[in-house]
Amino acid sequence: MIRNIRRLGKTYRNVNRFREILGVFVKHGFGDLSDILHLDKYLDLGTKYFRLPPRTASAHVTRPERFRTALEELGPTFIKLGQMVGNRPDLLAPEWAAELEKLQDAVPPFPSAEAKAVVAAQFGKPVETLFRSFGELPIASASMAQVYKAELLSGEKVAVKVQRPGIEDLVKVDLEIIFHLAFLLEKYVQGMDILNPMAICEEFERTIVKELDFSLEASQMERFAQASADLAIFYVPKVHRAFTSRMVLTIEFIDGFKVSNLESIRHAGMDPSRIAGDLSQVLMHQVFNQGFFHADPHPGNILVMPDRTICFLDYGMVGSLSPTHRDRLLDILVGVADQDAGRIAKTLIQLAYQPSDIVEDLEYQVSGLLEAYSFVTLKDFRIGEFLNRLIRLIISNRLRMPPGFYLMLKAVVTLEGVSRRLDPGFDMVESIKPFAKKAMRERLRPDRLAKDMYFGAMDLTPMLKEFPAQARDILGLIKRGKLRIEFQHQGLEPILKTHERMMTRMVFALVLASLIIGSSLVVLSGIPPKWYGIPVIGVAGFLSAAFVGFWLLVSIILRKGSWK
What positions carry a catalytic annotation? 296
Instruction: Indicate the residue type of 421.
Output: R
The residues pairing with 158 across neighbouring beta strands, listed in sequence order, are: 150, 252
Rg (CA), the chain: 33
Q: Which residues contact 525 (CB under 8 A, 6 or more apart)?
A: 535
How far apart are alpha carbons 515 and 69 in whole angstroms? 67
Handedness of CA 248, 251, 253, 259 (dihedral sign): negative
Peptide bond into 126 cis (omega under 30): no
CA distances to 19, 416, 421, 422 from 425, rounded to whole Å, are 51, 11, 9, 9
Q: How many CA atoms lie within 13 A of 227 on its CB side?
A: 18
Q: Are 77 and 208 in contact (CB under 8 A)?
A: yes
Length of the chain: 564
Task: Enumerate residues 6+ apart whose C-beta is below 8 A from 559.
Answer: 501
Which amino acid, residue 501? R
DSSP, residue by residue, 460-483 = HHHHHHHHHHHHHHHHHHHHHT--
225/323 Cα distance (integer angstroms): 20
Q: What is the DSSP letter of 89?
A: T
> Going by C-beta distance under 8 Å and a sequence separation of 6 or more, which residues neighbour residue 72?
79, 103, 104
Amino acid letter, residue 59: A
- Whether residue 153 contacts residue 126, with contact meaning beta carbons closer than 8 Å, is answered with no
Residue 310 phi/psi, 5-degree rounding, is: -85, 135
Residue 338 gets which letter from DSSP? Answer: T
List residues bridging with 151 in a β-sheet.
Answer: 133, 157
DSSP assignments along 366-386, one per residue: HHHHHHHTTT--TTT--HHHH
- Please report, for residues 531, 549, 559, 563, the alpha-carbon distance to residue 507 in angstroms, rounded to integers and kept in the order given: 31, 12, 18, 14
CA pair distance 528, 463, nearest whole angstrom: 82
CA 436, CA 449: separation in Å to the nearest integer?
Answer: 18
